[in-house]
Amino acid sequence: MSYRRIKNENFEESWIAIGDIHSHKIHLQSILTQCKEYPNHKLIFLGDYFDYGNSLACVLDLFISLERTAIFLLGNHEHEFFQFVSTYGTNRENQRKILNHFKINHHHLQWLHETLVISYVNQTTFFSHAGIDDLTTLEEQEDYHLLYSSFRENLDHVTQKKIVQGHIPMKKVCNFGNHYFIDTGCGLGGHLSALVYPEMEVLKSE
Protein backbone atom coordinates (compact mmCIF):
# COMPACT_ATOMS: atom_id res chain seq x y z
CA MET A 1 0.00 0.00 0.00
CA SER A 2 1.51 3.32 -1.07
CA TYR A 3 0.48 6.75 0.17
CA ARG A 4 0.51 10.18 -1.44
CA ARG A 5 3.00 12.88 -0.56
CA ILE A 6 2.27 16.56 -1.20
CA LYS A 7 4.83 19.28 -1.95
CA ASN A 8 4.05 22.98 -1.96
CA GLU A 9 7.43 24.66 -1.81
CA ASN A 10 6.79 27.64 -4.07
CA PHE A 11 6.00 30.11 -1.31
CA GLU A 12 6.00 30.45 2.44
CA GLU A 13 2.64 29.89 4.12
CA SER A 14 1.13 30.35 7.56
CA TRP A 15 -0.02 27.16 9.22
CA ILE A 16 -1.35 25.54 12.37
CA ALA A 17 -0.10 22.02 13.12
CA ILE A 18 -2.54 20.04 15.28
CA GLY A 19 -1.45 17.02 17.30
CA ASP A 20 -2.85 13.51 17.71
CA ILE A 21 -6.61 13.64 18.38
CA HIS A 22 -7.41 9.98 19.07
CA SER A 23 -11.19 10.20 18.65
CA HIS A 24 -11.72 13.05 21.13
CA LYS A 25 -14.26 15.43 19.64
CA ILE A 26 -14.40 17.88 22.56
CA HIS A 27 -10.65 18.52 22.46
CA LEU A 28 -10.80 18.97 18.69
CA GLN A 29 -13.70 21.42 18.92
CA SER A 30 -11.76 23.48 21.47
CA ILE A 31 -8.73 23.74 19.19
CA LEU A 32 -10.82 24.51 16.10
CA THR A 33 -12.54 27.33 17.99
CA GLN A 34 -9.15 28.83 18.84
CA CYS A 35 -8.01 28.41 15.22
CA LYS A 36 -10.70 30.89 14.17
CA GLU A 37 -8.37 33.60 15.46
CA TYR A 38 -6.07 32.69 12.54
CA PRO A 39 -8.43 32.48 9.54
CA ASN A 40 -5.69 32.61 6.89
CA HIS A 41 -3.57 29.78 8.31
CA LYS A 42 -3.60 26.35 6.70
CA LEU A 43 -4.61 23.61 9.16
CA ILE A 44 -2.30 20.61 9.20
CA PHE A 45 -3.53 17.60 11.16
CA LEU A 46 -0.67 15.31 12.12
CA GLY A 47 -2.51 11.96 12.14
CA ASP A 48 -3.76 9.41 14.68
CA TYR A 49 -7.46 10.18 14.61
CA PHE A 50 -8.38 6.59 15.59
CA ASP A 51 -8.46 4.75 18.94
CA TYR A 52 -8.57 5.61 22.67
CA GLY A 53 -11.59 7.96 22.47
CA ASN A 54 -15.22 7.15 21.60
CA SER A 55 -16.17 9.84 19.07
CA LEU A 56 -14.28 8.89 15.90
CA ALA A 57 -17.29 9.43 13.62
CA CYS A 58 -17.83 12.90 15.09
CA VAL A 59 -14.16 13.76 14.58
CA LEU A 60 -14.31 12.65 10.94
CA ASP A 61 -17.57 14.56 10.42
CA LEU A 62 -15.89 17.70 11.77
CA PHE A 63 -13.04 17.20 9.30
CA ILE A 64 -15.40 16.68 6.38
CA SER A 65 -17.39 19.80 7.24
CA LEU A 66 -14.37 22.10 7.60
CA GLU A 67 -14.63 25.19 5.41
CA ARG A 68 -10.97 26.13 5.28
CA THR A 69 -7.79 24.80 3.71
CA ALA A 70 -6.43 21.75 5.51
CA ILE A 71 -4.00 18.87 5.15
CA PHE A 72 -4.79 15.56 6.83
CA LEU A 73 -1.77 13.37 7.48
CA LEU A 74 -1.86 9.62 7.92
CA GLY A 75 -0.89 8.29 11.35
CA ASN A 76 0.23 4.80 12.26
CA HIS A 77 -3.24 4.09 13.71
CA GLU A 78 -4.90 4.89 10.37
CA HIS A 79 -2.27 2.86 8.51
CA GLU A 80 -3.00 -0.14 10.74
CA PHE A 81 -6.73 0.35 10.23
CA PHE A 82 -6.26 0.35 6.44
CA GLN A 83 -4.18 -2.82 6.70
CA PHE A 84 -6.87 -4.51 8.81
CA VAL A 85 -9.62 -3.58 6.36
CA SER A 86 -7.49 -4.75 3.44
CA THR A 87 -6.83 -8.11 5.11
CA TYR A 88 -10.18 -8.91 6.70
CA GLY A 89 -12.69 -6.68 4.92
CA THR A 90 -12.50 -8.76 1.77
CA ASN A 91 -16.24 -8.65 1.13
CA ARG A 92 -18.93 -6.09 1.83
CA GLU A 93 -20.34 -7.92 4.86
CA ASN A 94 -16.95 -8.22 6.58
CA GLN A 95 -16.20 -4.60 5.79
CA ARG A 96 -19.55 -3.58 7.26
CA LYS A 97 -18.70 -5.42 10.51
CA ILE A 98 -15.35 -3.68 10.74
CA LEU A 99 -16.89 -0.24 10.16
CA ASN A 100 -19.60 -0.98 12.73
CA HIS A 101 -16.91 -1.88 15.25
CA PHE A 102 -15.30 1.53 14.75
CA LYS A 103 -18.75 3.18 14.56
CA ILE A 104 -18.04 4.78 11.19
CA ASN A 105 -19.61 4.30 7.76
CA HIS A 106 -18.57 3.78 4.13
CA HIS A 107 -18.59 7.55 3.50
CA HIS A 108 -16.00 7.97 6.26
CA LEU A 109 -13.89 5.15 4.82
CA GLN A 110 -13.99 6.67 1.35
CA TRP A 111 -13.02 10.09 2.71
CA LEU A 112 -10.07 8.58 4.59
CA HIS A 113 -8.81 6.78 1.49
CA GLU A 114 -9.17 9.87 -0.71
CA THR A 115 -7.84 12.48 1.72
CA LEU A 116 -5.03 11.18 3.94
CA VAL A 117 -1.44 11.79 2.82
CA ILE A 118 1.75 10.54 4.42
CA SER A 119 3.73 13.80 4.28
CA TYR A 120 3.41 17.45 3.43
CA VAL A 121 6.24 19.89 2.75
CA ASN A 122 6.16 23.63 2.13
CA GLN A 123 8.92 26.21 1.83
CA THR A 124 9.84 26.19 5.53
CA THR A 125 8.59 22.93 7.01
CA PHE A 126 8.28 19.17 6.53
CA PHE A 127 5.28 17.54 8.23
CA SER A 128 4.72 13.86 8.91
CA HIS A 129 3.10 11.86 11.68
CA ALA A 130 6.30 10.50 13.22
CA GLY A 131 9.07 12.72 11.89
CA ILE A 132 11.79 11.22 9.73
CA ASP A 133 14.71 8.81 9.60
CA ASP A 134 17.68 10.92 10.66
CA LEU A 135 20.04 8.97 8.35
CA THR A 136 18.08 9.66 5.16
CA THR A 137 17.39 12.78 3.09
CA LEU A 138 13.86 14.18 2.99
CA GLU A 139 13.48 12.98 -0.59
CA GLU A 140 14.38 9.38 0.31
CA GLN A 141 12.23 8.86 3.40
CA GLU A 142 10.42 5.51 3.55
CA ASP A 143 6.78 5.31 4.60
CA TYR A 144 7.71 3.25 7.67
CA HIS A 145 9.83 6.01 9.21
CA LEU A 146 7.22 8.69 8.49
CA LEU A 147 4.76 6.60 10.52
CA TYR A 148 6.92 5.01 13.24
CA SER A 149 10.18 6.93 13.73
CA SER A 150 11.19 7.45 17.35
CA PHE A 151 14.09 9.89 16.79
CA ARG A 152 13.88 12.74 19.31
CA GLU A 153 16.84 15.01 18.63
CA ASN A 154 17.80 17.95 16.41
CA LEU A 155 17.52 17.22 12.69
CA ASP A 156 19.47 20.12 11.20
CA HIS A 157 22.06 17.64 9.89
CA VAL A 158 19.32 16.39 7.52
CA THR A 159 17.60 19.66 6.57
CA GLN A 160 17.30 23.32 7.54
CA LYS A 161 13.52 23.03 7.31
CA LYS A 162 11.48 22.58 10.45
CA ILE A 163 10.37 18.98 11.03
CA VAL A 164 6.94 18.94 12.69
CA GLN A 165 5.42 15.71 13.98
CA GLY A 166 2.97 14.09 16.38
CA HIS A 167 3.22 10.42 17.44
CA ILE A 168 5.39 10.77 20.56
CA PRO A 169 3.43 12.13 23.55
CA MET A 170 5.14 14.96 25.37
CA LYS A 171 4.01 16.91 28.43
CA LYS A 172 3.94 20.06 26.30
CA VAL A 173 4.76 21.20 22.78
CA CYS A 174 8.55 21.25 22.55
CA ASN A 175 11.42 21.19 20.11
CA PHE A 176 15.00 20.03 19.79
CA GLY A 177 16.50 22.52 17.37
CA ASN A 178 14.45 22.32 14.18
CA HIS A 179 12.51 19.22 15.33
CA TYR A 180 9.04 19.99 16.81
CA PHE A 181 6.79 17.64 18.79
CA ILE A 182 3.08 18.53 18.94
CA ASP A 183 1.47 15.41 20.50
CA THR A 184 0.62 16.14 24.14
CA GLY A 185 -1.23 12.94 25.01
CA CYS A 186 -4.81 13.61 23.94
CA GLY A 187 -6.62 10.34 24.69
CA LEU A 188 -3.91 9.25 27.10
CA GLY A 189 -4.75 11.58 29.97
CA GLY A 190 -3.28 14.66 28.33
CA HIS A 191 -4.70 17.37 26.10
CA LEU A 192 -4.70 18.39 22.44
CA SER A 193 -2.18 20.99 21.31
CA ALA A 194 -1.42 22.96 18.18
CA LEU A 195 1.52 25.08 17.02
CA VAL A 196 0.83 28.31 15.11
CA TYR A 197 3.36 29.52 12.53
CA PRO A 198 4.86 32.10 12.02
CA GLU A 199 3.59 33.38 15.36
CA MET A 200 5.09 30.31 17.12
CA GLU A 201 2.21 30.34 19.58
CA VAL A 202 0.87 27.19 21.21
CA LEU A 203 -2.83 26.42 21.46
CA LYS A 204 -4.12 24.01 24.10
CA SER A 205 -7.56 22.35 24.38
CA GLU A 206 -9.62 23.48 27.35
Confidence of residue 95 (pLDDT cuts 50, 70, 90): very high
142 pLDDT exceeds 90? yes
Mention every residue, 6+ apart, whose C-beta is less than 8 A from residue 107: none
> Is the pTM here over 0.95, yes or no?
yes
Mention every residue, 6+ apart, whose C-beta is less than 8 A from residue 18: 31, 43, 44, 45, 46, 182, 192, 193, 194
CB 173 within 8 A of CB 181: yes
Question: Which of 58, 22, 50, 17 minimizes the C-alpha distance to 203?
Answer: 17
CA 190, CA 202: separation in Å to the nearest integer? 15
6 pLDDT exceeds 90? yes
Confidence of residue 1 (pLDDT cuts 50, 70, 90): confident
Average the pLDDT over 39-61 and give the result.
96
pLDDT in tens, 71-85: 999 999 999 999 999
Confidence of residue 53 (pLDDT cuts 50, 70, 90): confident
10 pLDDT exceeds 90? no
CA 111, CA 63: separation in Å to the nearest integer? 10
Confidence of residue 206 (pLDDT cuts 50, 70, 90): confident
